[in-house]
Structure 1
Amino acid sequence: MVIIKIGGGKDINLKSIIADLKSINDKLIIVHGANALRDELADKLKIERKVITSQSGYTSVFSDEQTIDLMMMSYSGIKNKRIVELCQQNGINAVGLSGLDGKVIQGKRNSGIRVREAGKTKIVRDFSGKPQDININLINLLLNNGYTPVLCVPIIDENNMAINSENDDIVALLHSRLKADKILQLIEAPGYLKDKSDPNSLIKKISRDELEKIENEVDGRMKRKIYALRKLFEFGETTVIISDGRIENPIQNALKENGTVIK
C-alpha cells in the first residue's frame, strides 16, 4: 500500500506526477491539496482569507461558510476532477471523493481554538476539525476492485456538516487503518529544507526521534506538518519520503529516495 500526498501549490507538476504513477506496482491512494487554486478563486470572487494562529503556535485558515464553499469549488470540484481526468488519461481508473462522499473521512469539529489577538486571549470557532475515522469498507471496496481513490477535503463532522481539516492528519489516519508501506509527499521543494529559502539546505534523512526536536524549532504551518509526521509514526512503521513535485518523473525520483527520508 502506497499513499501519495500531492501538495496544492501552483508549481506542482500534476501531469508528470500522474503519468509517473506507473512506477508503483501496488495499491495506492491519492490525497491532494488545492491551496493555490483556492486562493486564486478567492481573489477572483473578492473573498478575504483569514489565517489564525493558536496560542501553541499552529497556524490554520479560518474556515467560515464562505471558505467551505471555496474548498468545495477548488478542492473537491476543479482540482479533484482534473486529477481524476489525468488518471483516466493514463489508464488509472480513479474515483474522486471528498470526505463527505460516503462519509469516507469522518471527523469531529473543533470546540474552539484559543488564539491571541491584540494582546488578548479569545476562543474562536469555525468549520474545522480533526479527522477521526474513515469508511474502511468503502476504501477497500474501491481498492479491491481495481479503483484508485483520489481524496480531498472537506470532510464530514459528527453533525453531518462539511468541515475543513489538515491533509497531513488525513494521511496519518489512512495509515493508521491501512498500514502503508510508503508515504510519498510531493511538494514545491527538493524535500525538507533546514532553511526554506535555501534549496541547498536539504536534510536527506530524519529519524522519527528527531521529529519532536524539529517541531520545537519551527513555527506556523511547518510546525503543524512536523507534528502530523510525528503522530503518523505512532500508528505503525512506514517510510515517508518528502520529495520534489515540480520535476519530471517525480514518483520515480521519490522512490529512489531523492529528497528527505523519514524512517
Structure 2
Amino acid sequence: MSEVLKIFKIGGGIIDDTAQLSQFLTELARVPERKIVVHGGGKGASQMLQNLGIEPQMVQGRRITDAATLDIVTMFYAGKTNKQVVALLQQNGVNALGLSGADGNVIRATKRPVKDVDYGFVGDIDEHSVETGLLQNLLRAGLTPVFCAITHDGQGQLLNTNADTIASSLARALAPFYQVELHFCFEKDGVLADVNDENSVIAQITPGQYQSLKASGVIAAGMVPKLDNAFAALEAGVERVVIENALKINEPVKTILCRS
C-alpha cells in the first residue's frame, strides 16, 4: 500500500487574515502524513497594485497579468506571502521549503493563448508540466514543499497560474506514487446544501450526485469550476478530494468527493 500524501490548497480570506493563517498552519502542523501546501495570493496583491497606481483587472475571477502586474504578483506571491507561510510552519515545527514552479523546474506552464481575452502572462499546465522526481526526494527528506501561484515556461519567462490548478496538477502527477488526498481549504465548513445555512454541509458527493446538485442549482457560481476540477482529479487517480474549513481540518465536518 502506497503512502498517504495530503495536498492542501489555501486562499481567499485565510491568506488575508494573519491570525487565521497562523491558526490554519498550527492545525496543519498536527497532520502527521507527508504534505504539500499550495497558496494563492488573497487580496494583498491587488492592494499593492493599487498602492503603486496600477488598477487590478479581473475577468471571471481570473487576473489579467500584464508585465507590470506580473512583477508585483511575483514579489507578493513568491516573496512576502510564500515566506510568511514558510516561517509560520517553521514556528510550528514543520520543516517547510518555499517554492515557485521555476525552482527545481518543478512546474512548467505554457502562456495562455489569446482567444476572447488576452490574459497576458498567465500560465496553463498540462499533464507533462510537473517534475515529480524532485518532489518525491523533498518529501522523503522530511520537507514540506510550499508552492505559490507562480510557474515558468522553461524559456526564462515567469507566469501567473491559478493556485487551484497548481494543486490539482500536483495531485494528479503524484497519484501514481502516493495515496493522494487533495484538500481545498476556505472559509466554509464544506459544500452547503443551503448557502444561507452554515450547518447544511453535504458530507459526501459522488459524480452522479454532483450532476444532480448542479442541475438543481444547489451547487452554482464559483463552486462549479472548483468541483469540476476536483472530480477531474479523482478521474485521474487522486484518492479523494476534500472541501473543508481551513480552521477545522482536524475536525470531522467537511465534504468528501468520491469516485463512486
TM-score scaled by length of structure 1: 0.83
82-91 vs 20-29, greater mean Cα deviation: 20-29
Kept after mapping to 1: 8 A contact 2:56/2:63: yes
CA gap of 1:77–1:144, structure 2 versus 1, over 3 A, is: same
CA distance in 1, matches of 2:65, 2:192: 29
- The yes-or-no answer on 1:90 pairing with 2:92 is yes
Q: Which position in structure 2 is the counterpart of 1:2?
A: 6
Q: Which position in structure 1 is the counterpart of 2:149?
A: 153
Correspondence 1:51-70 to 2 at 5 A: 51-53=58-60, 59-70=61-72
CA shift, 1:174, in A, is 1.1
Q: Which position in structure 2 is the counterpart of 1:111?
A: 113
Kept after mapping to 1: 8 A contact 2:202/2:255: yes
CA gap of 1:219–1:139, structure 2 versus 1, over 3 A, is: same
Q: Which amino acid aligns with 1:208?
A: P
Q: Which position in structure 2 is the counterpart of 1:29?
A: 36
CA gap of 1:36–1:193, structure 2 versus 1, over 3 A, is: farther
CA shift, 1:192, in A, is 2.0
CA shift, 1:81, in A, is 0.3
Kept after mapping to 2: 8 A contact 1:212/1:230: no
CA distance in 2, matches of 1:70, 1:219: 32
CA distance in 2, matches of 1:215, 1:47: 37
CA gap of 1:171–1:211, structure 2 versus 1, over 3 A, is: farther
Q: Which position in structure 1 is the counterpart of 2:223?
A: 222
Match of 1:87, SS state, is helix
User: For the aligned residues, what is the CA RMSD?
Assistant: 2.3
TM-score scaled by length of structure 2: 0.84
Kept after mapping to 1: 8 A contact 2:171/2:181: no
CA gap of 1:224–1:92, structure 2 versus 1, over 3 A, is: same
Structure with a larger share of its residues in strand: 1
CA shift, 1:44, in A, is 2.1
- The yes-or-no answer on 1:131 pairing with 2:138 is no
Structure 1 moving runs of 4+ over 6 Å = none
Q: Which position in structure 1 is the counterpart of 2:50?
A: 43
CA shift, 1:193, in A, is 3.0
Correspondence 1:160-239 to 2 at 5 A: 160-179=156-175, 180-194=179-193, 196=195, 198-212=197-211, 221-239=222-240
Q: Which amino acid aligns with 2:186?
A: I
Match of 2:79, SS state, is helix
CA gap of 1:82–1:171, structure 2 versus 1, over 3 A, is: same
Match of 1:30, SS state, is strand
CA distance in 2, matches of 1:175, 1:135: 12
CA shift, 1:234, in A, is 2.1
Residues 94-117 of structure 1 deviation map (CA, whole Å, 9 limit, x = unaligned): 1001112222111111112325xx
Q: Which position in structure 2 is the counterpart of 1:14?
A: 21
Residues 6-27 of structure 1 deviation map (CA, whole Å, 9 limit, x = unaligned): 1232247221222222432221
Residues 32-68 of structure 1 deviation map (CA, whole Å, 9 limit, x = unaligned): 1122221222232232111124xxxxx4111111221
Runs of 5+ in structure 1 lacking a partner? 54-58, 116-123
CA distance in 1, matches of 2:69, 2:194: 31
Correspondence 1:65-76 to 2 at 5 A: 65-76=67-78
